Amino acid sequence: MLGVALLVFREVLEAALIVTIVAAATRGVVGRARFIGGGIGLGIVGAIVVALFAGAIEEAVGGAGQELFNACVLLAAVLMIGWHVIWMSSHGRELAQQMQSVGHAVKAGSSSLAMLLAVVALAVLREGSEVVLFLYGMAAGGAGRADLLLGVPLGVAGGTAVGFALYFGLLRIPMRHFFTATNWMLVLLAAGLASSAARFLIQANWLPAWDNQVWNTSALLDNGSVVGQALHILVGYEARPAGMQIVFWLATTVLLVFGMRWITRVHAASRAAPAVAPPATA
Amino acid sequence: MLNRICLCLLLTASATAWAADLPEFQLTIKAQKFEPAQLTVPANTKFKLRVTNTDNTPSEFESTEFNREKIVLPNSTVTVFIGPLDKGSYKFFDDFHQDTGKGVLVVE
């Protein structure tokens, strides 16, 4: 039972942290609950489909299908987060001001929201397909019904609880810094996902590793531990990163930060009325 | 990002060319255990590891020490590229059967 609960917990935790960051980043948006719920629902359906076709996916690209599929899902999420972050850097300030002054929800750009819905769906799909395969194996391998009936809800509840804890922690950030904070979290999330994508491409021999282990901090914090795993998702922490992973992490961070700065500057320059707010400096 | 994808595609061509020359090693998952449980591979050499699952249940070959993870479906074989690694021993496990599925990669 504990084995089932633990594996489910770990997978749910990874997805829950991503969903939490998205939930925080879309604070105050009309219909947010519906589209996050929709993303999770789509992700679960996707997870079952991916698990069903796992064999076909693997054989599709000469025995590297699994790695390429994962890398594509991760890089797609990176692109979508990037889009949202850069869009937010021109609208986030208005969003925060409206929320402070009017005190009710605002309507945000729908294209940017659709992107984040997709990020939620992809996160649930990736982690969920592993859970589906694992549970199928447990059921086929004759695991006790009680193991599954107790272990699965326990794992899901545990993972979700950590997500909620993080969410309510984030809500304590003062409103004027709130979207700056969630934007940074999205940038680091994207950088970490890009680094994971690089790892899959190295594993498939599609990319050179550029040194398999640039440093080793596993004695300090192992990626096998729950904290190490949480930080792996949140900021891309890797106890033994390959050089190529560091390149992907840095490239994503630099691109997004410069993208944000650039858009903010363009937006501030095009603004005529300085009476509303001082120029944004993200 | 597009540049990166192009770069990926370019590197693929060269990467697949190298793949043929790499040494190959074999692991088998049988009754949710690895055979052999200890596999010796050369240091500072990239190699190809084939993992065959002879069980009727899926497994996940994983290592946080040499940073690899791949699902191995029932009655199938997957390939994982590993290394070059420094000398030492690196643990790996079956993420879906952590009680029984344990092994060590000895690099020397």
| Best to test chain B binding among A52, A134, A136 (most B CBs inside 10 Å) | A134
Q: What are the tens digits of pLDDT across the range B34-85? A: 999 999 999 999 999 999 999 999 999 999 999 999 999 999 999 999 999 9
Would an 8 Å CB–CB cutoff place A144 in contact with chain B? no
Tell me whether residues B81 and A201 touch, CB distance under 8 A.
Answer: no
Helix H or strand E segment including A77: helix A65-102
Cis peptide before B36 (omega within 30 of 0): yes
Give how far the C-alpha of residue A196 lies from the chain's centroid of Cα atoms, to the nearest Å: 11
pLDDT tens per residue, range A8-52 = 999 999 999 999 999 998 888 777 888 899 999 999 999 999 999
Q: Is the pLDDT of residue A228 over 90?
A: yes
Chain B nearest-CA distance from A170, in A, is 30
**Helix spans in B1-108 (H):** 2-19
pLDDT at A203 over 90: yes
Distance from CA of B12 to the nearest CA of A (A): 5
Q: Which amino acid is at B26?
A: Q
Give percent of chain A above pLDDT 70. Answer: 89
Closest approach of B96 to chain A, Cα-based (Å): 6
For residue A232, pLDDT over 50 is answered with yes
Q: Is A266 helix (H, G, I), strand (E, B) or coil?
A: helix
Angle between helices A65-102 and A110-140 (to 10 degrees): 130
Write down the pLDDT at residue A278.
Answer: 53
pLDDT band at A102 (very low <50, low <70, confident <90, very high): very low
pTM above 0.80, yes or no: yes
Contact B73 A54 (CB under 8 A): yes
In this prediction, residue A3 carries a pLDDT of 86
Nearest to B15 among A58, A141, A206 (CB): A206
Among A139, A132, A116, smallest CA distance to A12 is for A132
- Output helix, strand, coil percentages for chain B, rounded to the nearest 5: 15, 45, 35
Query: What pLDDT is attached to residue B10?
Result: 52
Cβ-nearest to A206 among B1, B12, B95: B12
Q: Are A43 and A125 in contact (CB under 8 A)?
A: yes
Whether chain B has a CB inside 8 Å of the CB on A246: the answer is: no
Mean per-residue pLDDT for B76-97? 96
Smallest Cα distance from B104 to chain A, Å: 16
Rounded to whole angstroms, the Cα distance separating A270 from A272 reads 6
Does the structure's ipTM exceed the value 0.90?
no
